[in-house]
A = this chain, B = another copy of it.
Amino acid sequence: MAKVSPRTLSGFMELLPAQQMKMERMMQILRDSYARYGFTPLDTPIIESAEVLLAKGGGETEKQIYRFQKGDSDLALRFDLTVPLAKYVAQHYGELAFPFRRYQIGKVYRGERAQRGRFREFYQADIDVIGDGKLDILNEAEVPAIIYDTFHALGLSRFKIRVNNRKLLNGFYAMNGMSEKAGEIMRTVDKLDKIGAEKVKQLLIDEVKMLPCKAENVLDFMAICGTNAEVIEALERYRGMDATFDQGLDELITVTKYLRDFGVPEENFAVDLTIARGLDYYTSTVYETEMCDHPEIGSVCSGGRYDNLAEYYTDKQLPGVGISIGLTRLFYVLNEQGLLSDDLVTAPCDALVLPMTEELALRKAGLRVQLYGEKKKFKAKMSYADKIGVPFAVFIGEDEMNEGVLSVKDMRSGEQVKLCPDEAAAYMAKRIAELNSGAVIRE
């Protein structure tokens, strides 16, 4: 028979079993972490009506979208989890309690140009808090505090959540009479990291057509840095010149205070005036999260506060705050950098039983147990045990049957002991717990 070559599309992640186990573990930590803060899990369709999904329309997004006809229906695959959330909240408004706190971990689709580390199908892991008309500023601190907790639970400590406030920026541009050019200026200032202050200044003058003194003002402002207290002190010097600026500064002060109250260490968050977020719907606090030792990756977790989640679907004012982890990309990068722990058990089971009936007792002890029933030579069986990386092989031969014991072989140390089933279960469970006690990510 002519064969079709089995292959996976470029830009689609498909992992081998041991890698997939690491991914699952990360997802489980995210689920547990979000649930601990009272977020409810949500699952929305991957396919939506194109009209609904593209209600906002235009932009880069539309070019990248997977859109197709099925019968008479114009369909599209979701490209993020925010638009489906907006639809969901507008649609089920009457049945939800506000603030509505949801998390969603799901696949999204963008037909980007395929390149290393860029995915067309990828997981996003989002949390959002949506208010009905109003939403307290406390949420703008809690959301990054949850991200701190989550990253910490994954095993990361060398990361920084950068925080800024859009009102602060808008106010600053207003006080300099540059409001109309604010968008252009922000896009240019975004290049600071890449091309440096001198070149940015030249671009501001040449292309944005700013006066040199104004361009300098912008660069001076963006250059404000230091500890969080120092940055805020520097910002206080601008107070009183623009009401929006003052409001943004007050909010920033409140958010950083709450962040400390929530127990986020000073080294894990930083007020950073260069963060603006491209999307135009953020209205005050915005976040980006950088891995300190890998700034080249860019932000692995971003979000912010918005005033109007679902304006394309409803007249209800639905302010919210949310943050999104690009999980597939984060996993890819951590894996590439060798930051995913190999110490934890990635085998499909904890114990491989060769060959008969006693395995049930072990399973009741919470161990993941595989009964190996294939009629193979001993060597082939052990080679299987090696290949799947199982921590323990359990032998039940005639001797063991007569004595009512199991022979348990620690596949890592090679040590072999005879134990009665209960003892064997406890012995293995203890060792498995040790093996799995580390973090998923090792820096």
Contacts and interface: CB of A to CB of B under 8 A. Distances in A.
Interface of A: 1, 3-9, 12-17, 20-21, 23-24, 35-49, 51-52, 55, 66, 68-71, 73, 75, 86-88, 90-92, 95-99, 101-102, 107, 109, 111, 121, 131, 134-136, 138-139, 142, 261-263, 310-315, 348-349, 352, 357, 360, 363, 366-375, 384, 387-388
Contacts of A352: 38
B263 A139 contact: no
16 contacts: A3-B314, A3-B315, A6-B52, A6-B87, A6-B88, A7-B49, A12-B45, A12-B47, A13-B45, A14-B88, A15-B43, A16-B96, A36-B363, A38-B370, A47-B66, A97-B388
A311 B4 CA distance: 9
A400 B92 CA distance: 37
A42 B14 CA distance: 9
Interface centre among A1, A131, A368, A369 (most CB of B within 10 A): A368
Contacts of A261: 357
A27 B42 CA distance: 13
Contacts of A366: 36
Copies in the assembly, this chain: 2
B90 A384 contact: no
Contacts of A263: 360
A36 B6 contact: no
A313 B4 CA distance: 5
Given A9-B73, A12-B45, A71-B111, 19 more contacts: A1-B312, A3-B314, A6-B86, A16-B92, A17-B42, A21-B40, A21-B41, A36-B367, A36-B368, A37-B363, A37-B368, A38-B352, A38-B370, A38-B371, A39-B348, A70-B111, A97-B384, A131-B374, A138-B371
B3 A312 contact: yes
A111 to B, nearest CB: 6
Given A23-B43, A43-B20, A4 B370 contact: no
A157 B69 CA distance: 44
Contacts of A35: 348, 368
A322 to B, nearest CB: 15
A51 B6 CA distance: 9
Contacts of A75: 9
A308 to B, nearest CB: 10
Contacts of A131: 374
B16 A95 contact: yes
Contacts of A98: 384
